[in-house]
């Protein structure tokens, strides 16, 4: 099976690649070819099969057609610029997050009309497709009314995925990812980055800044579970999913205070003392419009699973990023 990962140099793209390479298969289906694409060339994995590494911008005309020409059986579309960057640079946000998606979907459509090509397309959407006022928990049938450019771009991508799937051009599944926590590496430009920062840095003895009150509540999932969502979506029975192809993923609803108490239980008071509170009114206002938690009834019934506690999310980070010990 040939698998293409768009956004392969990003955090989730790298972890997805590592998981596929380690297992050599997706849900029992052997993988013998990988195409890894990003705006910077992804690193070559130690993979027994064939690997194509591509440095390309999917929003550039012709790049999507070049990718689809190899007829990958599965396409993971993870490429995007994050929320804060999409808000600051309107043109770039729409070019990368929307135009790139439309060009990919259209390239698959044209190939489908030529020779019946019909891959599985897994689209990484976001809970940013929902905007305040929001109930808690948010039900599966809640309307998508995003209040950011990033959320709007993802919501349009969801509509396109549903329509192209309905027309039979591909089998698409959109998964609305919770905020991924704890993200490894350095902070990115996402406005929600502090959720990871206040845990990741103290775990290695570094100071972290907390810009919001302890009462802020949000919806989280570990990188390990996020990769699990992608792989499950790649092989799930679309007949069981039905015509509503975009799913809100399960996760863990927690306040910042509950995050901090989980850090205390796992790493002690010394780690918690490294969190420095610097209130930021703008970020706090942004948090008022973020999703506090979901029912995720459909996704749970379809077999998607996530962590049950923040202690578990922290331990996953320690196992996957810190060698298993502090």
Q: Which residues are catalytic?
A: 150
In our burial notation (b when 16+ CB lie closer than 10 A, e otherwise), range 311-322 reads ebbbbbbbebbe
CB atoms within 10 A of CB 122: 26
Q: How far are the Cα atoms of 82, 84, 91, 215 from residue 149, in angstroms, in the given order?
A: 10, 9, 10, 26
Dist. CA 310–CA 288, nearest whole Å: 21
Q: Which pairing describes strands 252-255 and 217-221: parallel, antiparallel, or unpaired? A: antiparallel
Tokens read off for 269? 């008071």
Calculated CA dihedral for residues 97, 159, 195, 80, nearest 10 degrees:
-20
| H or E element in which residue 76 lies | strand 74-77
Task: Give helix 223-235 / helix 11-23 axis angle, nearest 10°.
Answer: 60
Q: How far are the Cα atoms of 124, 141, 225, 326 from residue 322, in angstroms, in the given order?
A: 27, 39, 17, 7
| Selection from 164, 165, 161, 142 nearest residue 153 by Cα | 161
Side by side, which strands form the sheet with 33-38? 50-55, 33-38, 2-6, 74-77, 120-126, 171-177, 246-248
């Amino acid at each position: 099976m040939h698998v293409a990962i768009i956004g392969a140099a990003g955090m989730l793209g790298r972890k997805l690649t590592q998981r596929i390479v380690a297992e050599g298969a997706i849900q029992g289906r052997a993988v013998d070819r990988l195409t890894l694409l990003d705006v910077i060339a992804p690193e070559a994995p130690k993979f027994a099969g064939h690997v194509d590494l591509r440095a390309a911008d999917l929003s550039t005309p012709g790049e999507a057609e070049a990718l689809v020409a190899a007829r990958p059986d599965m396409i993971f579309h993870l490429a995007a610029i994050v929320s804060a960057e999409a808000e600051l640079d309107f043109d770039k946000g729409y070019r990368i997050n929307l135009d790139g998606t439309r060009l990919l979907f259209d390239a698959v459509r044209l190939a489908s009309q030529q020779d019946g090509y019909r891959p599985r397309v897994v689209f990484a959407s976001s809970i940013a497709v929902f905007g305040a006022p929001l109930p808690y928990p948010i039900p599966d049938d809640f309307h998508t009314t995003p209040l950011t450019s990033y959320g709007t771009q993802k919501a349009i991508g969801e509509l396109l995925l549903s329509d192209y799937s309905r027309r039979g051009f591909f089998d698409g599944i959109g998964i609305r990812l919770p905020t991924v926590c704890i993200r490894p590496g350095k902070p990115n430009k996402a406005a929600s980055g502090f959720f990871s920062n206040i845990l990741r840095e103290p775990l290695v003895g570094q100071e972290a800044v907390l810009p919001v009150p302890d009462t802020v509540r949000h919806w989280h999932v570990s990188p390990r579970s996020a990769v699990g969502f992608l792989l499950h979506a790649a092989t799930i029975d679309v007949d069981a999913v039905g015509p509503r192809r975009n799913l809100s993923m399960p996760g863990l609803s927690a306040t910042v205070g509950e995050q901090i108490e989980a850090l205390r239980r796992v790493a002690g008071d010394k780690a918690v003392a490294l969190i420095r509170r610097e209130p930021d009114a703008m970020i706090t206002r942004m948090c008022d419009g973020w999703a506090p938690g979901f029912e995720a009834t459909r996704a749970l019934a379809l077999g998607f699973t996530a962590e049950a506690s923040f202690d578990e999310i922290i331990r996953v980070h320690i196992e996957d990023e810190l060698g298993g010990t502090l």
